[in-house]
Amino acid sequence: MQYSKKVIEHFRNPHNQGLIKNADAIGQVGNLSCGDIMKIYLKISENKKGEEIIKDIKFETLGCAAAISVSSALTVMAKGKTLVEAMEITKDQIVKNLGGLPPVKVHCSMLGVEALHQAIEKYNKSHN
């Protein structure tokens, strides 16, 4: 299976790439077998209902095209969501959003979800 057009677009023009100075939370995960490392930065604020939302999200990823594309797509999916909604994002949703990934690259989608969930869990521990 080749990469979908959407994967290639996210790889060539990643959304929300970079870091957030004074981030409210940071999640970082890596995969020893492939060497990919993903870091997710979150800036949290409240919406009109008083729910905590992801106001801004950025990523830094050292990895293959799939890892970068997954990170980019994940940030687009999570931005503006409540923390509860963001915790419900799954690897399958990311893969579907990207139009599929080669089977050997699906593990990359897990890294993005794990980094996001780790950042949210760190935020919740430090603010509860």
Catalytic residue among 67, 95, 101, 108: 108
* Cα(29)–Cα(122) distance, integer angstroms: 13
Q: List the structure tokens of 86.
A: 């963001």
Tell me whether residue 34 is one of the annotated catalytic residues. Answer: yes
Active site residue 64: no
Catalytic residue among 34, 37, 64, 110: 34
Active site residues: 34, 108
